[in-house]
Amino acid sequence: MPPTAAALAARDRRKERGRRQEAEVRGRGSNGSIQGMLELPLLEALQAHGGKARPKDLYSGLADSLSLNTETREETRDCANQTYNVFEQQVRWARQTAVGKGLIAGERGIWELTDIGRSKLTRIERGKVILIYSVDDGLAFLAHAEEAAGVIEPGSISLVMTSPPYPVLAREYGKFALPEWLAWMSDLTGLWKSLLSDDGTLAINLMDCHVPGAPTISPYIERFTLDTIDRHGFHLAGRQFWHSPSKLGNLEWAIKRRATLKNSVEQILLFSKSENPNWDSRRLPLEPYAHRTPAQQASDARRREKAAGMATIRPGGYDINEAAFAAKGEGALPGNLLISGGVGGGGNYAKRCRAAGITPHPARFPEALPRKVILLTTEPGQTVYDPMAGSNTTGKVALDLGRRFISSEPVLDYARTSAFRFDHRPDFRMHLAG
């Protein structure tokens, strides 16, 4: 059955939105859409007014919270013989979207927080940093990444490793369109660089996203990579890839239309502050050699015997003795591909969350990811920092490997329940009650 006219029109609107977004990101000169940044500040502004307010009482405070310049705040446009304020219109549209989500109720003249809207505000206020729990070799802060960076000693971190919310995904952290995401992450990258030691590493876990309205892949990862190198002076030191076969395919393009393959691979971008970071693959366990049948082993032996003492020119131009590739019984060199089944049930952490009636963090990565990165890039006793820690898998693995950790997380429930990974330890101390 062919698509209806309404479906075709909706598809065209999605495509046009994707084209505008891509054009905007390429230019990087625009302030981007303010509306996509407004939901949580709008809820916070309503809460500050006692949960109910008139729109005109909110505009000024919202503009201040977004640090808008005067030109942006006062921009106007003409439509149908009327002049309207662009910022105030975007606030009204954000309110309408929030109404559709059940976050705001009330008539147009009076906006009021709903119970669902209040539940979205269990986040630390901007400008505040609270130590929520600690162990002898670890500190966990309730804070946004921007504020947490201000309480960490510059140059004291050997590895910053985190998995930020991906653009165009709506989570408790907020919803980001590409322009805002790239600007936000670029600013954070500058802060994190100041925290790293001279031979330190920045590791960012990202996944491909589609251009809105099209089955094509957004090049946001490439844009972030080039910005990190060109603007902040990092070096692209490596990439690690991890495969999670349990990931779902894109509903529109992979499942309904079969226009793309299911994307089950994420990557960790590894940036170093200097050209020679403190990496040593000998800290990683060697991987087992691939299984060889008796016939293959006999063939390998004959080839090595024939080539013994003879130099062989490889296609890359290297002059290498074939015998150099003989197995020495130590195991194969570690590769940069990690096969994983995903986060699984989450073990004791997930059980404790369910028992407390709290949903576990929805985007936990497997412990094998931080383990491999931490071993490669740090030495025992050095400090690992996860600025968007979620359930604090990174901090747990860091302690397991004899490193120190610092974590920060702005969502109260996530920060508090991440303590389930540590509260069995005799040196655990809870600093935030409740």
pLDDT confidence of residue 27: 47
Specify the higher pLDDT residue, 429 or 432.
429
Inter-helix orientation angle 393-400/368-377, to 10°: 50
**pLDDT score for 31:** 41
Mean pLDDT, residues 86-96 taken together:
85
Kindly state the average pLDDT of the residues 356-373: 83
| Nearest CA-CA partner of 277 in 350, 382, 363 | 382
User: Residue 81: pLDDT above 80?
Assistant: no
CA dist., res. 373 & res. 277, Å (int)? 13
Beta bridge partners of 78: 83
With cut-offs at 50, 70 and 90, classify the pLDDT of residue 5. confident
- Given this model, what pLDDT does residue 225 score? 98
pLDDT cut 70: percent of the chain above it: 79
Residue 334's pLDDT is 86
At residue 394, what is the residue type? T
- Could you give the dihedral angle defined by the CA atoms of residues 332, 225, 362 and 102, in that order, rounded to the nearest 10 degrees? -170
Average pLDDT over residues 336-351: 71
Residues 89-111, mean pLDDT to the nearest whole number: 84
Average pLDDT, the chain: 82
pLDDT grade, residue 14 (50/70/90)?
Answer: low
Q: How confident is the model at residue 32 (pLDDT cuts 50, 70, 90)?
A: very low
b/e code 387-416 from CB counts within 10 Å (16+ = b): bbbbbbbbbbbbbeeebbbbbbbbbbbbbb
Per-residue pLDDT at 373: 96
- For residue 68, give both structure tokens: 């808008």
169 or 82, higher pLDDT: 82
Q: Which of 69-78, 306-315, 353-362 bottoms out in mean pLDDT, i.e. has the lowest? A: 306-315
Going along the chain from its start, the domains and CATH numbers come out as: 31-119 (1.10.10), 130-283+334-430 (3.40.50.150)
Which of the pair, 352 or 154, is modelled with greater confidence?
A: 154
Residue 255 has pLDDT above 50, yes or no: yes
- Averaged over 128-141, what is the pLDDT? 96
> In the prediction, which pLDDT does 407 show?
98
Whether 262 has a pLDDT exceeding 80, the answer reads yes
Average pLDDT estimate for 143-152:
95
How large is the average pLDDT for residues 241-263?
A: 82
